Structure 1
């Protein structure tokens, strides 16, 4: 049995790391996995004796794999070539869907893969007996996770070091399918060996949430239902499915974005202070938040699907989308965290494709200032509200919107920002991509930014009843033009929760105010 160790001395010349990328010919591996591995190498975060082994069904050589991934690697040419010299390829199958059939196959389905990994480890040992540590990155559809994991367990486990498995979302389509998937994998690997990637947890501003909330005293007294009117978590894309409608149609926007990425952001906004920064202490607090959220009511949901507009063609015009599909490409859900801190505060979660802008941000809107001292300066009946905003993309930023007096002899009010713009403040500092950070966490045995099984269960319990209702035809999406702000029913639902668009004396045009989106 491999020793249980979260910390590895990579300075020890006996320690060797092999990262096996299963599905190395796919888009995910080419666009995310290999560039992230190269970035770690380029910035000297990769252990010195690292081998990257690609695995796929397609016939290919070491050199042809290198030719395939070379254009995706951005950096000095000599560094690219040095990295590629440590990249190799192994062809093979993934095995039967029947785990028992895989277990009885002779030779093992991954027998050649296991032998190749062992040979590459030995080649890095310089004549010494090595301790081989192995990461298997499953850049594959979830449907093949069970046979792949069974074959790794049978033929590819490290006899001397640790073995870790990285799996990508989606983790099932509902609570039942997620648990079936988890149950099959958990029979083979412990939770400490499993790394479920949600790349939003690797983004710089996401990781800053814990620091901002618990390292700044001025925020703590405000962070509760007495001061906060609502919280918005927004994800907007200005493009549609771009020919991937067949894949997207199986899931829809709630499964694709809201149930995982945005719900994880909600947890970091709403959770209590953990007793330490250990991965399980932080994930315990996130789990408590999820368990305080009731399943989404259909009264608190607005759905949409984009149609023809100035920005492009309708979702149904994508040739890969089934005719007459009712899959939502937009959803706004209102969630409530039923605990002492957040009771009654709406968390407005919105995600959509083919909208008017590219944006992902968290907007914490504070309540109105009590005592209306500036009644004569009000516009449209109210003073603008303070907002604390964390913008994840594009152009990462953190800012507070506050009301100030305009310069001059009068008493005109306007909103201004106290802001930290990452592109200016850290102009000369390279900000790592999410996958780069998460792969490094996996190498270091840090699971803080990976999803635990009980978190998955709690998250699916919130959305599964709604998803079953939508899949059964209980809710039809409202059409909205490609390139618009989204369906009208979403604005009505958001207004119903008490959210207020931030209008000031210098910003009175409703059509211009898109910051409240």
Structure 2
């Protein structure tokens, strides 16, 4: 399991504050080489390099560290340094403060290599560079480790994987490969990609990253569910009426229209991110915290999901989406989707799981909302106030809160809704919550695959969604327009009501400001 938060050791924190070089408290020994393929792209500069930097400043990476950025773009090592420098924050509690010494120390370990993805020459040079680093001190007894991060479009995974396998494997230690989503566009393409990668790397070498599994509140789900006695007897169909897993963005595609139009909101968000969250909400208690035991239970949940009922699917597209010059005017790609999933097992039979995601909506948030059944014998006439709910806010402003009915302060016996609230920005205000990517890169270095997607898990998830996606692609499900800044198509709220969700009118949870 990941820790609640990763903080710098006291000695290291003192070093950061005084601009002195860091102290090493690495989780591994020996030589570590990290190669970021696609180093000139947005993902690498905004997520991958900053995550590696944060691990380095916190002492999780060895001092014998080599980082290579590789891409087709013409640039020098100095130009790469300039590109990524603005995303490196040496003091995340005060982002305006930078330790130039620590940043300089990190960048001294970063080099850039230009090369094609489909020819041997660049990979041969890359392997020579890594091998020189591993042998530079003539210490043949030290362990060596190689991590290849594919910050690349999936279309080039097979050819890049073939070249890495041919030229760049580690002869003296482990080699691990991180691949980014999307993993195909449907069951057939996903299986084809899995077969190509599976022929080159073992499952122990391959890490399919879904950054949602690295989020603090998602990782908290296991502890919350299985370490608290009061949740265990109520976490079932006898007490829970409805579950929602909601992703909202308050902006549109904004420059990603061409990419997004190829996939749509279900492939981009629901089939991977939200389904991973659903598994953790619905799974049975694993035998242990072994990554394989946890992933076994996630697969069992997915195998119990019934075929999607098209009558309980709402898809939409926000007005103005096709004004993007990279999007075809005739595009029927959904930017919004809400659908009901049913899990046919003893724990969840009859409980609807609404998974909903959309762009250009009225808010920016990701949350899990578990609504409980009505309290029998309503002597306080408070049913009209709404039901009890347990809510986990994954982002922004991580929080867990329970909506309760309580007495309003005063002389009258009047019921109101309030909450028991644990907002992280208040409860853990001195703690820096790690970014998802740094946690998952650290897990890869540790060899912990608990928070990565296994091949059979990926296959079952695609089996659930592929028939629906093919129907949408063929234009056989109505695409409903909705206004930017709205809640989405009104039919989505109707689906909530149809599946038994009771919305609390007038109640709004407010995150603490401090």
Same fold (TM over 0.5): yes
Deviation of 1:109 after TM superposition, in Å, equals 5.5
- Give the structure-2-normalised TM-score: 0.91
1:62 pairs with 73, 77, 86, which one? 77
Deviation of 1:89 after TM superposition, in Å, equals 1.2
Contact 2:385-2:416 within 8 A present in 1 as well: no
Distance 1:501 1:368 in 2: 13
Deviation of 1:67 after TM superposition, in Å, equals 1.6
SS in 1 for 2:275: helix
SS in 2 for 1:110: helix
SS in 1 for 2:86: helix
- Alignment correspondent of 1:273: 285
Contact 1:478-1:487 within 8 A present in 2 as well: yes
Listed as ranges, the matches of 1:200-239 within 5 Å are: 200-239=212-251
Runs of 4+ with deviation above 6 angstroms: 512-515
Listed as ranges, the matches of 1:159-198 within 5 Å are: 159-198=171-210
Listed as ranges, the matches of 1:309-348 within 5 Å are: 314-348=320-354
- Alignment correspondent of 1:87: 110
1:115 pairs with 123, 128, 147, which one? 128
Deviation of 1:10 after TM superposition, in Å, equals 5.8
- Alignment correspondent of 2:8: none
Deviation of 1:77 after TM superposition, in Å, equals 1.4
Deviation per residue, 1:282-335 (Å, 9 max, x gap):
00000000000022121110011111xxxxxx1111111111211100000100
- Alignment correspondent of 1:472: 474
- Give the structure-1-normalised TM-score: 0.90
In structure 2, the CA distance between the partners of 1:78 and 1:109, relative to structure 1 (3 Å rule), is closer
Report which stretch shifted further, 198-207 or 45-54. Answer: 45-54
Deviation of 1:12 after TM superposition, in Å, equals 7.7
Distance 2:486 2:406 in 1: 32
Distance 2:182 2:304 in 1: 23
Matched, 1:51 2:66: yes
Deviation per residue, 1:436-473 (Å, 9 max, x gap):
10000000000000000000000001100000000011
- Alignment correspondent of 1:73: 88
- Alignment correspondent of 2:489: 487
Deviation of 1:235 after TM superposition, in Å, equals 0.3
Distance 1:345 1:220 in 2: 17
Distance 1:11 1:422 in 2: 27
Deviation of 1:128 after TM superposition, in Å, equals 4.9
Contact 1:108-1:155 within 8 A present in 2 as well: no
- Alignment correspondent of 2:378: 372
Deviation of 1:122 after TM superposition, in Å, equals 2.2
SS in 2 for 1:448: coil
SS in 2 for 1:163: strand
Contact 1:241-1:248 within 8 A present in 2 as well: yes
- Alignment correspondent of 1:24: 39
Contact 1:267-1:290 within 8 A present in 2 as well: yes
Distance 1:150 1:49 in 2: 27
Distance 1:121 1:29 in 2: 24
Distance 1:442 1:513 in 2: 37
For structure 1, the residue ranges without an aligned partner over 5 or more in a row are 1-8, 97-106, 308-313
Distance 1:73 1:514 in 2: 31
SS in 2 for 1:88: strand
Deviation of 1:127 after TM superposition, in Å, equals 4.9
Distance 2:270 2:37 in 1: 27
SS in 2 for 1:118: helix
Deviation of 1:88 after TM superposition, in Å, equals 0.8
1:395 pairs with 397, 405, 410, which one? 397
Deviation of 1:177 after TM superposition, in Å, equals 0.2
Matched, 1:445 2:447: yes
In structure 2, the CA distance between the partners of 1:226 and 1:127, relative to structure 1 (3 Å rule), is closer
Deviation of 1:61 after TM superposition, in Å, equals 2.2
- Alignment correspondent of 1:3: none
Contact 1:95-1:109 within 8 A present in 2 as well: no
Deviation per residue, 1:9-40 (Å, 9 max, x gap):
96886x21100000000000000000000010
Contact 1:57-1:92 within 8 A present in 2 as well: yes
Contact 1:270-1:289 within 8 A present in 2 as well: yes
